[in-house]
Amino acid sequence: MNSSVHTIEGKRILCIADVRGNLSELNRLAREHRADYIIHTGDFGFYDRSSLDRIGERPLKHWIQYSTLIPSQTRSRLLTYPHEAIYRALEQSPQTLLSEFSDFLSGEKKLEVPVYTVWGACEDVAILEKFRSREYQIENLYLLDEASTHLLDVGGVSLRLFGLGGAVVQHKLFDNGEGADTIAGGMGVMWTTALQIGELVELATSVFDASETRVLVTHASPGREGLLAQLALTLHADFTISAGLHFRYNIAYNEFACQPEIDHFRNRLIQSQQQFMQVWESVKDQVEESVDEHQYQLLRNALNVVNRIPPSSSEIEETDIKEKDEIAFKNMWNFNLPDSDYGSLVLSINQGSIASEMKSYGLNVSFRRNNNNSNASTAPQNVQQDNTDTNKKRQSVQRNPFTAYVGGLSNTTMNENDIREFFGVENVTFVKFPIDPTTQLPKAHCYVEFASQAALEQALTKNGTIFRDNKLVINRPNTSFDNRGRNNRVSRGGRSYRDSRVLHD
């Protein structure tokens, strides 16, 4: 456990998201907002030039698209290149285009205020491992993770910071990808694991002090991920701070303000619980055989988080007791941040009070003033055209009636050749592994097109078969290649069982 106490004379905490390698922006924003220190919610820019060899094409394009370090004209040009040309351009560029991390690591540039950050969904796991082992160190940069907590004594408040980085992808909670330590990632992306959640609970329990104000910092939003909302309840968090999906405005809310009653909040957590348990039941035997005694306890901690379901409103009324979860439902505040170039949040702390100041550069809607009536009259036609294009796309992926859904692909080392081998190369005409556009991570299924009805029927008989540690779910899809559903692309670099704390499923 790494725990530290920082007494800060200043009273302003700048909270920002997604600087994406433009680390000098941290100093500029700190000066602009008169911040004494910074909380950052991930996609920090833990990349150096060697990271290019470890980043997949899709994560790299995603990074380029939202990077503020790359000039807009350069960005537009890069995104038109073939992927090999993108890698060459970044590698040969005299300017730093991927991240300024190396400049700060060498000491050429320095952080002017303390920065506390989780890692995001787009980071290099190899760089994070070196940073966590202290092989890499940057003055004034502190990680928030399952093994580290920081206590800030500021403005009459003892502010306890906890953090959990990476994307939350249910079917990857037991897979550490290419990570060699307790963290999980590969191909330039990172995700959360069940063991990390369990270790964070262990850490929070060991330092619990009722006089402190607890803040949970995550990359993914507890508003979208029920598992993180359950974690916040378990940690007795007073505030959560997370990144948004490239929003233009800050979001501040508590569940009581968004839900008519606690039962609606409860149902969302039950849905998250069911999703987790579905994955857990499919990998339970392999996982329990692979863990030591301490790791098993961490899994128990994670399962306790998953089972943290608030009582229903009727149960609360029957017992006439104000449950802690009901209090959190009304009093725990959640802040969801835009990217750093769109806005920020400042927590101003003085004499025990925590005030908030939100800033957003917002949306530019001045173009509407230039719209004339003729443009307005054509709007429905444009919508109709858009709908027509969408329908064409849907039809284009529904042409083959001999299509099967193949789920249960929690082992991310599988690829298209494995699928063809399993069903017979002569039977398969096409395999699709879609990518989650939000996380840039593969999901847990694919679609397979067969050459004939007989080949499809034969494939359906293999439902429930164990193949390369995956219990396959094979059936007819509701609609072929439903791009809105759970998609999966196989990672090129995934590894198998680990001696580390993170498990392979």
Residue 4 has pLDDT above 80, yes or no: no
pLDDT tens by residue, 189-240: 999 999 999 999 999 999 999 999 999 999 999 999 999 999 999 999 999 9
Q: Same structural domain for residues 178 and 42?
A: yes
The whole-angstrom separation of Cα 332 and Cα 313 is 18
**Would 70 be classed as within a structural domain?**
no
CB 445 within 8 A of CB 387: no
Q: Same structural domain for residues 348 and 431?
A: no
The whole-angstrom separation of Cα 404 and Cα 477 is 6
Q: Same structural domain for residues 334 and 408?
A: no
- Beta strands 239-243 and 251-253 are unpaired
Residue 489 has pLDDT above 50, yes or no: no
pLDDT tens by residue, 274-294: 999 999 999 999 999 988 999
pLDDT tens by residue, 127-176: 999 999 999 999 999 999 999 999 999 988 999 999 999 999 998 999 98
Cβ-proximal residues to 422 (8 Å cutoff; 6+ apart), any chain: 462, 467
Q: What is the DSSP string of 62-84?
A: HHHHH-SSS-HHHHHHHTTS-HH
The whole-angstrom separation of Cα 284 and Cα 161 is 32
The whole-angstrom separation of Cα 35 and Cα 481 is 48
**Would 487 be classed as within a structural domain?**
no
Q: Same structural domain for residues 195 and 328?
A: yes
Which among 107, 124, 105 is positioned nearest to 46, based on CA atoms?
A: 124
**Would 254 be classed as within a structural domain?**
yes
The whole-angstrom separation of Cα 301 and Cα 350 is 36
Domain of 465, CATH number, reads 3.30.70.330
- Residue 477: pLDDT band (50, 70, 90) is confident
pLDDT tens by residue, 368-409: 777 655 454 444 444 444 554 445 444 444 467 889 999 888
Q: Same structural domain for residues 351 and 433?
A: no
Q: Same structural domain for residues 176 and 246?
A: yes
- Beta strands 2-7 and 148-154 are parallel
**Would 4 be classed as within a structural domain?**
no
CB 335 within 8 A of CB 287: no
Cβ-proximal residues to 57 (8 Å cutoff; 6+ apart), any chain: 83, 86
DSSP state, 159?
E
Cβ-proximal residues to 398 (8 Å cutoff; 6+ apart), any chain: 479, 480, 481
Kind and range of the H or E run holding 460: helix 453-460
Q: Same structural domain for residues 353 and 410?
A: no
Which among 268, 221, 264 is positioned nearest to 245, based on CA atoms?
A: 221
> How confident is the model at residue 323, as a pLDDT?
56
CB 47 within 8 A of CB 123: yes
How many domains, the chain? 2
- Beta strands 189-191 and 184-186 are antiparallel
Q: Same structural domain for residues 335 and 465?
A: no
Q: Same structural domain for residues 258 and 407?
A: no
Phi/psi at 241 (5° precision) = -130, 125
Q: Same structural domain for residues 280 and 407?
A: no
**Would 77 be classed as within a structural domain?**
no
Q: Same structural domain for residues 345 and 251?
A: yes
Degrees (nearest 5) of the Cα angle 255, 278, 285?
130
CB 164 within 8 A of CB 437: no
Which residue's entry shows tokens 């950050």? 117
Q: Exposed, middle or buried: residue 343 (CB in 10 Å: 0-12, 13-18, 19+)?
A: buried
- Residue 325: pLDDT band (50, 70, 90) is low
> How confident is the model at residue 413, as a pLDDT?
63
Which among 278, 175, 205 is positioned nearest to 501, based on CA atoms?
A: 175
DSSP state, 51?
G
DSSP SS3 for 193: coil
The whole-angstrom separation of Cα 235 and Cα 237 is 5
Spatial strand order of the sheet with 353-360 comes to 141-143, 115-117, 37-40, 12-16, 343-350, 353-360
Residue 497 has pLDDT above 70, yes or no: no
Q: Same structural domain for residues 326 and 419?
A: no
**Would 257 be classed as within a structural domain?**
yes
Domain of 106, CATH number, reads 3.60.21.10
Kind and range of the H or E run holding 107: none
For residue 437, give its domain range.
Answer: 403-475
**Would 120 be classed as within a structural domain?**
yes
**Would 349 be classed as within a structural domain?**
yes
* Distances, alpha carbon 378 to alpha carbons 30, 134, 370, 382, 392, in Å: 46, 60, 15, 6, 21
> How confident is the model at residue 35, as a pLDDT?
96
Residue 2 has pLDDT above 90, yes or no: no
The whole-angstrom separation of Cα 394 and Cα 277 is 32
